[in-house]
Amino acid sequence: MRYRNATLFLALAAAWGAAFMAIKAGLTPDLFGPAPVLFAAVRYDIAGVIMLGYAAYATDHPRPVGAREWAAVAVGAVFLIAGYHAFLFVGETDPAVTSAGAAVIVSLSPVMTTFFARAFLPEERLTAVGVAGLLLGLVGVVLLARPDPGNLLAGGVVAKGLVFGAVLCFSFGSVITRWLDAGIPIETMEAYAMVGGALLMHAVSLAIGESPAVAVDALTGPEALAGLAAMGYLSLVASAAGFLVYFDLLDRLGPIEINLVSYVAPVFAAVTGFLFLGEVVDLLTAVGFLVILVGFLLLKRRELRRELPVLRRAIAGARDGD
């Protein structure tokens, strides 16, 4: 079971890490740059339809039933799909936010998930060390944003703040989805959350004045091949397959542990951003990531301490097998 979860965990990190590059590639001025929320909405139009069909095929419970199941779907649609992706896509339109930079900001997710989890479980309180870990995570984000006191709107600060808003949505949604424990099949939950999230993003897209014609131009114009490649990857791999794995691991590992995937994703975001977009990870981005990582290690020190003996036994067993 450990190897199964670890394999799925790495596959999810790779799929979601490369997604930052695909988002950035699709947000060029010739593609979906003028309409980032529409880009996210069309992505989930496709993924949602696919997952509706898959849910009807794979489960005998293809539709949510009862208030608790619909509540879980609503949380997924509002926070995990619409809120997270609308903020993330708009944030990535800024040239100051690279694929790796966005992924590193999203790596604050485990810290914020821990915060929300403990906020909704009164018996769990942050110790002084835990508070220090949370503050370190926030310091890491500030290092990434690099605010200029003389001009707080310069240097991508607003865009990076939007990506941080995406982190808050995803962390909160993960905790509440787990807390609801609705018992709805993963396939059904994912399908209806995607469709609902897509509809919400279409409404937001129209409300902020984005033109639906942008999608037609992006997928049929001179750069159509790049647009279709980005949309295909995001819809099929990162969304349909990725969220199927995510909700499975969320159920098995819980929101804090599964959101550790955001610590591995920046590696894949940096590699794919470099290979496909020529992006380079600078020193301050790496430092920001390390500060966030230290913050999380402080927050999860007890759990990690309990896990170390298990890891040592697994390594020793593998050596004995050799």
Per DSSP, the three-state class of 187 is helix
Question: Is residue 292 a contact partner of residue 265, using CB atoms and an 8 Å limit?
Answer: no
Q: Any idea what the Cα angle at residue 71 is, between residues 68 and 77, rounded to 5°?
A: 150
Q: Any idea what the Cα angle at residue 180 is, between residues 71 and 243, rounded to 5°?
A: 80
Specify the pLDDT at position 146: 63
Q: Which residues of the chain have pLDDT under 70?
A: 1-3, 121-126, 134, 138, 141, 144-155, 256-257, 299, 303, 307, 310-311, 314-322
Contacts (Cβ under 8 Å, ≥6 apart) of 196: 73, 74, 76, 77, 78, 81, 82
Per DSSP, the three-state class of 75 is helix
Specify the pLDDT at position 148: 59
Specify the pLDDT at position 114: 79
